[in-house]
Amino acid sequence: MKTQYIVAGVILVALLLSYFLRRAEPSHEQEPIKIDKTARSKSPVNATPDYPVPFGYKCQWLAIKTTDTQAVIEAMQLQELELANWSTGIDAAHEGCYFVSPPVHGWTLVVNALMPDLSGVEMPSPLTVIDKLSSQFGEAYYFGTHRVVDYHAWAKSMNGKVVRANAYLGEAIIDQGEISQEERYLHMIFTGLDVEEPHLPSEEDVLLIAKEWTVDPQMEEGEYEAGTGFVGRLK
């Protein structure tokens, strides 16, 4: 009888040890995105999937070469997450939320009309953000335009380093890196104001270079799938 108790005790200890060892093993699976059910955007968001909607005017956005929405959210360190389709997500983006789109032709877009721009007034700088993102995903881009203040900007980062950045706010404020082949093709070689017929950037230039480098923000070309993204705020 004592032998049976001893054997049973040994088996029980072995089972408990196996259970706790399994729990202690690190998991290599991504944890699911946590939705904050208490979060509320100024405009109500809708999680019903819809097709991409055009945007870009009076707006700012990032384009990241990945279809891993969750990885982008984690890299951006967003919180207060809510499911949002394209139409309500873009509306929230114009109120200062970050809208992380579902994948579009191999890209993930992060839209926020009120994010810090390249004027250097607010932080983090978009150049810092895309450097961080491109170090993880290989390619990341920033675009911004607002006709009222005459702000137009675009930047490209590869493998953690900005290779091209141009920004105009009434005058050139950034001109970094070599002019890209796409800019030359689009005749985006600009002058200052000190010439007889100045050639200055416009919001249309920003949309055109975004289309050449990444995804057409006006969503006019190609086929698109209905989907749902997320809105959130920086930590």
pLDDT for res 150:
95
Spatial CB neighbours of 35, under 8 Å, sequence gap ≥ 6: 81, 82, 83
**What confidence tens digit (pLDDT) does each residue in 22-72 have?**
444 444 455 655 555 444 556 799 999 999 999 999 999 999 999 999 999
The reported pTM is 0.83
The DSSP call for residue 125 is: -
- Give the integer Cα–Cα distance in Å for 52 and 224: 7
pLDDT tens, position by position, 74-123: 999 999 999 999 999 999 999 999 999 999 999 999 999 999 999 988 99
What's the token pair of residue 12?
């029980």
Q: What is the DSSP letter of 29?
A: S
* Rounded CA separation 81/72 (Å): 13
Burial of 158 (0-12, 13-18, 19+ CB in 10 A): middle
Query: Residue 12: which pLDDT band, with cuts at 50, 70 and 90?
Result: very low
169, HSE (Cβ side, Cα atoms, 13 Å): 9
Q: Which two tokens stand for residue 59?
A: 């707006």
Strands (E), the chain: 59-64, 78-85, 98-100, 108-111, 139-146, 151-158, 161-169, 172-177, 228-234
Q: Does residue 5 register a pLDDT over 50? A: no
Q: How confident is the model at residue 137 (pLDDT cuts 50, 70, 90)?
A: very high
Q: Is residue 38 classed as helix, strand or coil in its secondary structure?
A: coil
pLDDT tens-digit series, residues 46-57: 999 999 999 999
Closest alpha carbon to 183 in 171, 165, 195: 165
Give the pair of three-digit tokens for residue 108. 């993930």
Contact, 85 vs 50, CB < 8 A?
yes
pLDDT single digits (tens) 140-190: 999 999 999 999 999 999 999 999 999 999 999 999 999 999 999 999 999
